[in-house]
Chains A and B, each alone.
Chain A
């Protein structure tokens, strides 16, 4: 694969930025791409194809589908009748499959991550604006949707209701056996068919909990990190605006000040005020923060704006998202008081930066001590818990 760096000037002419462009050679592009949706009534529906003349027969579709039923891997390589196919199916998009027909000369091995990323992008776009999905441009420019970031994994917990509930329980207990959690949860949601593994998964994948069998006894779930979502001031973006975009910098600073420290008597945003009432405005705002970070497209645009103000075009080029989606997202972010718009300059900037951080749940230590003394918690489990907390928080503090 050839690779080069393009250097371009942005519209204001005051700044130079560079980004890499992968030039994909024709023989490395798949011969055809298909987006398929499985429907309980109509079976396999090919929703998109490129090129438009390509066909995928029912048997091949079936074989791609069956392979995914057999195992958990998202991406699979198939050799059928001396042709190679790649298929992608993900738990994030149930019922959807992306299929590629490879060229004979294509070397697939080194491109696994590329195919994964392109497939993710195609399916994410299919959910929001199926008409606008341009398969050709995605494979030609190797546009991808990145894997969920750490922040997004944390946000995801709040969009799996049982997982969020379980987190609340762990914030009270610190450590608990998987069995006890299962029982407690069944009671809370009034059903007995809870798959505790699935409920714990988002907590495990984000590093919030750790699961371990203690001394061959019970499987225990430990709370290692607690989560805090808030709006941070967009420091880096402000600094860069000051340095490179003097024409908007003052107005920009004014917007940020209005939000965080307005002239009295108005009170600015202060995330450290403790929240006691369940429906306090800060609580609702925290949910917004999680929502924005959880949504793939919102998050990509947010991330792109974190370093400095940009135009819609620049964001679209940098993120590989179609311009209409970027515009939509910017509109949403504006109404959430996350982005602001400089109309004359055609620039967008962050006014608040939704952020999710983790912290050590030290508040739990007295509870653990009490539970041990009341013989409600095994001494070994408590000791192991302390050890785990120390291992997690002693070296790098995130």
Chain B
């Protein structure tokens, strides 16, 4: 996946930069990108895109005077695919934003376009206390046999969703709800575009889950957050409206052990992903 996009101007100044996942040696990378741009100004690439390996990354670069474009992707990525996406972004920039950049004006609207092309992986985190039905929800989404006993998740279980939404692979992070794993939550929701907070719809559990909503707002303020009022088949269940009121986020009903909820749930997540994109555009 594309990890970073850097556009440098005439004197090696950074005109635009965006990073998609925390890379450990960020400052070293930026330093490298700047000196790469400096070096490229002395050779003529004839507007071709070239690439080179750097540790675990692959760096793609091209020059369209006066701009140098540098993209950082994973070494394991399909290079042709990255180059194609890079080509699209370069074209949009040159057509609609180059003049603004040259005049030192803000590049309004560029970020959203970049996201649309560069984000090929959507992270959806499923958060909630032990036994509320997170893993069951994951299996339901993947169309797998539904577990009827509670086999607690250890740490996190990460699975892909076969569906594609806007060219994006959806990765589901099913976080363990047991309290001994709570130290992982804050770090593991990092970079999630959507966070689903699952409750079992009992009053006690929903009240406790308010804390999870605050955690998410604090750690990933740009993520789209939705609530799930699960176990609606049980007599103790609060209505989804009531659960939503308490949590303070849009909440949907669910019976995760009932396969007939599958399509509805998929639509909800699709919508959340799209809305998440819109919201980050607005911000």
User: A276 to B20, alpha carbons, bound, how many Å?
Assistant: 43
Chain A 32-69, CB within 8 Å of chain B: the 1/0 string? 00000101111110010000000000110111011001
15 contacts between A and B (CB under 8 A): A39-B21, A41-B1, A44-B158, A58-B158, A59-B154, A61-B155, A62-B154, A63-B155, A65-B155, A66-B180, A66-B183, A66-B184, A93-B24, A96-B24, A126-B55
Tell me the B149-207 residues at the A interface (CB within 8 Å).
154-158, 171, 173, 176, 180-181, 183-184, 187, 190-191
CB-defined contacts of A61 to chain B, threshold 8 Å? 155
CB-defined contacts of B187 to chain A, threshold 8 Å? 69
Contact of B121 among A41, A62, A69, A70 (CB under 8 A): A41
Evaluate contact between B123 and A40: CB separation under 8 angstroms: yes
What residue in chain A is nearest B183 (Cβ atoms)?
Answer: A69
Q: Least Cβ distance of A56 to chain B in Å?
A: 13
Evaluate contact between A130 and B56: CB separation under 8 angstroms: yes
Q: Is A268 an interface residue (CB 8 A)?
A: no
Evaluate contact between A94 and B123: CB separation under 8 angstroms: no
CB-defined contacts of B145 to chain A, threshold 8 Å? none
CB-defined contacts of A47 to chain B, threshold 8 Å? 56
Interface residue range, chain A: 20 to 34
Q: Is A127 an interface residue (CB 8 A)?
A: yes
Contact of A70 among B24, B183, B191 (CB under 8 A): B183
Evaluate contact between A95 and B24: CB separation under 8 angstroms: yes
Q: Is B22 an interface residue (CB 8 A)?
A: yes
Q: Least Cβ distance of A49 to chain B in Å?
A: 16
User: A96 to B158, alpha carbons, bound, how many Å?
Assistant: 18
Evaluate contact between A63 and B154: CB separation under 8 angstroms: yes
Evaluate contact between B191 and A41: CB separation under 8 angstroms: yes
Known A43-B173, A69-B183: A58·B157 in contact at CB below 8 Å: yes
Evaluate contact between A40 and B190: CB separation under 8 angstroms: yes
CB-defined contacts of B55 to chain A, threshold 8 Å? 126-130
Evaluate contact between A41 and B155: CB separation under 8 angstroms: no
Q: Least Cβ distance of A343 to chain B in Å?
A: 28
Known A59-B155, A130-B56: A42·B171 in contact at CB below 8 Å: yes
CB-defined contacts of B191 to chain A, threshold 8 Å? 40-41
Evaluate contact between B21 and A40: CB separation under 8 angstroms: yes
Contact of A42 among B22, B56, B158 (CB under 8 A): B158
User: A41 to B21, alpha carbons, bound, how many Å?
Assistant: 8
User: A69 to B182, alpha carbons, bound, how many Å?
Assistant: 10
Interface centre among A39, A126, A129 (most CB of B within 10 A): A39
Contact of B24 among A42, A59, A66, A94 (CB under 8 A): A94
